[in-house]
Amino acid sequence: MARKRKGTPIHGWLAIDKPLGLSSAQVVGKVRWLLKAAKVGHGGTLDPLATGVLPIALGEATKTVSHVMDGTKTYRFQVRWGLATATLDREGDVVGTSPARPTRAAIEAALPAFIGEIEQIPPAYSAIKVDGERAYDLARAGGTVDLPPRPVRIDSLTLLDMPDADHADFEVVCGKGTYIRSLARDLAAALGTLGHVSVLRRTACGPFHEADAISLETLAELGQGPGPRTYLLPVETALDDIPALALTAAEARRLHCGNPVPLRHVTTRDPEAALGEGTLCRAMDGGRMVALARIEGGEIRAVRVLNLMNDEGVDDVDHP
């Protein structure tokens, strides 16, 4: 018999506004301590020197983390021209200088080359594994880190401001695996200079946005009572871009027990619910999500079953 987790069973998502200086793991630890939550994770790492939207998954929401990590992200960042650092941000030692400073016209002319599907070499100081070791561990130990380029997707890259000759502010909308530090390095190189990220803030991560984010200080002030629940988003928030299927209570119980449900039973009630082979969907019992499911062979099959009941047998998330 599985051992029961210690802590309060809380299920849903919090969008935390990560402060400067804390790692994503430290934020997870603080949320777990503040809420006395049984299970906590995060959807999309932010470096300690970055601030902004860090989605925190609680309880059954941790089963949907991968969908947030795969989602589109928006960042605002500042590039410091003329200085290259070992870490590609302001934390690292300066490893190169350049007197060249790009003009606004030159920057705007260079941006289109970085939009779309591009190849990008990740920073040496990154969490990518090389022969079983993290790249940043090898780099800190003085080893040579040679990472191959990888494809990334950049949907838009906009110059926002140029406060002075040494700095430029940008906004980027990008896909999974894009390193803003590498983008700054490569943009500077294309402009005939050097550069590093001096400020980085994530304003959106999948369905989670800056306007909905809560600070750790506010979370601490609300305490462990019902206050934090006003910011708690349903588990299915992470899956808002995939279709939902409305099941009957009997079908929901069947799927929850690991048994498939014929798709035709659902489409008979709702012809618009006809989904193609391999489609991921949210299997819903009224306002409660039963499982993340996939259509296979004309059947609805559970990929991840969700147990959204607290110890009293009541749905633990308030669904609007």
- Catalytic positions are 47
Alpha helices in 118-166 (DSSP H): 135-140
Q: How far apart are CA 258 and CA 302, in angstroms?
A: 6
Query: How many Å separate Cα 197 from the centre of its chain?
Result: 20
Residues 6+ apart with CB under 8 A from 238: 13, 43, 55, 57, 61, 64, 65, 67, 68, 206, 207
Contact 317, 306 (CB under 8 A): no
State the Cα–Cα distance between residues 214 and 217, nearest whole angstrom.
8
Nearest to 53 by CA among 155, 206, 179, 159: 206
Half-sphere exposure of 298 (CA within 13 A, CB side): 4
Give the SS3 label for residue 76. strand
Q: Which of 207, 163, 71, 180 is nearest to 171 (CA)?
A: 180
- Find the angle CA(44)-CA(50)-CA(64) to the nearest 5 degrees: 10
- State which amino acid sits at residue 304: R
Q: Please list the residues that pair with 174 across neighbouring strands.
A: 73, 154
DSSP output for 244-283: EEE--HHHHHHHHTT--EEHHHHHHH-GGG---TT-EEEE
